[in-house]
Each structure stands twice: as structure tokens, then as C-alpha cells.
């Protein structure tokens, strides 16, 4: 067996960068191991190796952590933007460590965005094999009927790309707009907007309200809340997340003007039952 772990994985666990970003840092000659600059990520390291990044010692790897973030519209879900637009990482509290987003929400969308300090957790949460349902509250222009959404329930092709069947519920008509709830198990680029456009409907507001067992709840726009280690253990099987660590304290919140409440409705259960012995948390309130 090969001893240790890949250097890029070690950098990711230490919160320096995602694994892919770490590989680029290595190729740029920014990483040393035992005093020697390395040029390839194809290297395994152990706890006895001395690693530096940009001449600074590598921080100790933190325990895996996850946060809920209520993304406001108008922010890009990326570390930087070539157009100079503000990103979600520009708006996060200074008390938060370096984090990565789990998946994306486009600039005009809002609602629940998961953040983590661990590249392995990020990949696990993004895998389609988890089977977790992602729910959205969607406002669209027009007066649709329930049968209009039959193609989406079967699966639809938009711009030559196949979308998996969606769960659609028509909630209410509000003037010239209709509110629907959409559930899907994959997250292709602008999937809901593109699928609705195929039916002739224009989406003018899109709010993600849940990601598997994690719910937006009463979190206001711009606020961040850490998921309790016990919940990570129950939902993700991360035993190391609870060993010797106290429950997280709430982050200091930036002063903001009160935001509009997120419209929510419908059944509270949107995923498979909890494992025996797992305890639901207040994060699951919808």
C-alpha cells in the first residue's frame, strides 16, 4: 500500500485551496515539500513531511465543517470573476475560514448555498449518487396549468442537453405570476430556467430552499450558520467531525437591512428517511 495521501488532498484538507486549485499551485512552483519545490501533484506525503505554500508553513488540517449560507441575488458563486462582479466570497463574514461552495447558484438566483472547508466533503455533497433532492421555489410569468409541466416530469431536452425528470408542484397564482415548487437531483447550469423556457415560461425569481437534509429555514439573506458536528455525523457519516469538538458558536452577523421573507410551502419531507438513530436538527425546519 502507498503510504500517506496526495499532496493536493493535504492542501485541500488544510483549507489552502480546493484540490484542483492546489494542483495548479503545485504546477506553478508555489509548494515545497521538505525544502524542495515540487512540480507535480503526483506525490504522496505523510505527517512527517514539512510542507510550505508561498514560503508559509502549511496550516494544520481542520476538522470537516459545513455552513449554510443564504445567497442574495447579484453575487457570483466563484472565487473571482473576470468581469469584476462581486462574489459570494466577498460578502462572507471575516470570521469564516477559507471555504469552498458546494455546487453553484447563478448570479440571479438566491437561497441556500452550502459551504465547506473540506474538499472531500464538497465532492461527496455534489455527487449525484447521494440521491439528495434539491428544492426550489420558482416564480414565473404566466398562468400555467398543472398539465403543462408533464414534459418536465418525464424529462426534457433543452438546447440539446437532456434533463432528468423533475418534481413539479403548482402552488398558486399571484397576479401575472405563478409560484411553483421544483425538486431535482442534478444541478446542470441554469437547468430550471432553461427547462421552463422550453415550455414558454420566463422565470423571474428562483430560490433554493433545501439541499437534501439541509434547509434554508429562517436564515436571512447574507447570513451564515454552521451545521452542527452531530448533524454531519448523522447525515454524512463524518465521525471525525464530532470527536473532541464542541458545538459551533453562532457567527457574528453583519448589520443588514431586513430582507424579504422567502416564500415557502409544501411538504417538509424531501428526501429519504433518516438512518435509525439519526436525530433531526433544527436545520431541517422548512
Please list the active-site residues: 106
State the sign of the Cα–Cα–Cα–Cα dihedral 121, 128, 192, 190.
Answer: positive
- Are 199 and 143 contacting, i.e. CB atoms less than 8 angstroms apart? no
Among 78, 213, 195, 63, which Cα is nearest to 140's?
A: 195
Cα separation, 139 vs 173, in Å, equals: 9
The H-assigned helical ranges of the chain are 7-13, 19-27, 88-91, 119-126, 150-154, 191-198, 229-236
The residue behind cell 437547468 is 191
- CB atoms < 10 A from the CB of 64, how many? 20
Per-residue CA distances from 212 to 84, 96, 135, 178 (Å): 32, 23, 8, 25
What are the cell numbers at 129?
Answer: 449518487
Taking the mean position of all CA atoms in its chain, how far away is CA 265? 22
CB within 8 Å of 261: residues ≥ 6 apart: none
Amino acid at each position: 500500500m502507498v503510504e500517506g495521501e496526495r499532496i493536493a488532498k493535504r492542501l485541500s484538507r488544510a483549507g489552502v485551496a480546493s484540490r484542483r486549485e492546489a494542483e495548479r499551485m503545485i504546477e506553478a512552483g508555489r509548494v515545497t515539500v521538505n525544502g524542495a519545490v515540487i512540480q507535480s501533484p503526483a506525490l504522496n506525503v505523510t505527517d512527517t513531511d514539512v510542507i510550505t505554500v508561498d514560503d508559509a508553513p502549511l496550516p494544520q488540517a481542520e476538522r470537516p465543517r459545513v455552513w449554510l449560507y443564504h445567497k442574495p441575488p447579484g453575487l457570483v458563486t466563484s472565487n473571482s470573476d473576470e468581469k469584476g462582479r462581486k462574489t459570494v466570497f466577498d460578502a462572507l463574514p471575516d470570521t469564516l475560514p477559507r471555504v469552498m461552495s458546494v455546487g453553484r447558484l447563478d448570479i440571479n438566483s438566491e437561497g441556500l448555498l452550502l459551504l465547506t472547508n473540506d474538499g472531500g466533503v464538497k465532492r461527496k455533497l455534489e455527487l449525484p449518487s447521494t440521491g439528495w433532492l434539491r428544492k426550489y421555489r420558482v416564480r414565473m410569468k404566466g398562468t400555467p396549468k398543472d398539465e403543462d409541466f408533464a414534459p418536465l416530469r418525464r424529462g426534457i431536452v433543452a438546447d440539446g442537453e437532456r434533463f432528468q425528470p423533475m418534481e413539479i408542484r403548482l402552488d398558486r397564482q399571484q397576479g401575472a405570476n405563478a409560484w411553483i415548487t421544483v425538486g431535482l437531483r442534478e444541478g446542470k447550469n441554469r437547468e430550471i430556467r432553461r427547462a421552463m423556457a422550453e415550455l414558454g415560461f420566463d422565470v423571474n425569481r428562483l430560490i433554493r430552499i433545501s439541499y437534501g437534509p439541509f434547509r434554508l429555514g429562517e436564515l436571512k439573506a447574507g447570513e451564515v450558520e454552521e451545521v452542527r458536528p452531530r448533524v454531519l455525523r448523522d447525515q454524512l457519516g463524518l465521525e471525525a467531525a464530532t470527536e473532541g469538538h464542541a458545538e459551533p458558536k453562532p457567527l457574528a452577523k453583519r448589520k443588514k437591512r431586513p430582507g424579504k421573507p422567502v416564500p415557502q410551502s409544501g411538504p417538509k419531507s424531501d428526501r429519504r428517511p433518516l438512518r435509525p438513530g439519526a436525530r433531526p436538527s433544527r436545520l431541517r425546519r422548512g
